[in-house]
Amino acid sequence: MFRFFYQGDPFSEAAKSLAWTAFITGLLLIGFGMLVFLLKDLFAFLAAAVFFVAGFSAIGYAIRLMIARHKMKESDKLYRENVEIHFGDDLDI
């Protein structure tokens, strides 16, 4: 009922597409490698900046955790009125 006409072998077309993709990827990798080789000072500065910012972020996170821990520790000492704690199987769920 329906006829499908292929322009050549579909496996051949897939292999051709894969080969072109690998070729372009290889050229991009070579170009990026040359760029890093020629501008190594710039890339070293960028990497150092990333680690510097990550270090400050980790310190800020640690400080926030210490403050939260301190607040949780202080809240355990509070006395609460009209609070009942029930243990056992007679809970209405």
Domain coordinates of the chain in residue numbers?
8-38, 40-78
Comparing 14-28, 41-55, 66-80, which segment has the lowest mean pLDDT? 66-80
DSSP class of residue 64 equals H
Confidence at residue 7, expressed as pLDDT on a 0 to 100 scale: 63
The pLDDT of 38-54, averaged and rounded, is 92
pLDDT band at 31 (very low <50, low <70, confident <90, very high): very high
3-state secondary structure string across 23-40: HHHHHHHHHHHHHHHHCH
**CA 70-74-78 angle, 5° bins:** 165
pLDDT band at 91 (very low <50, low <70, confident <90, very high): low
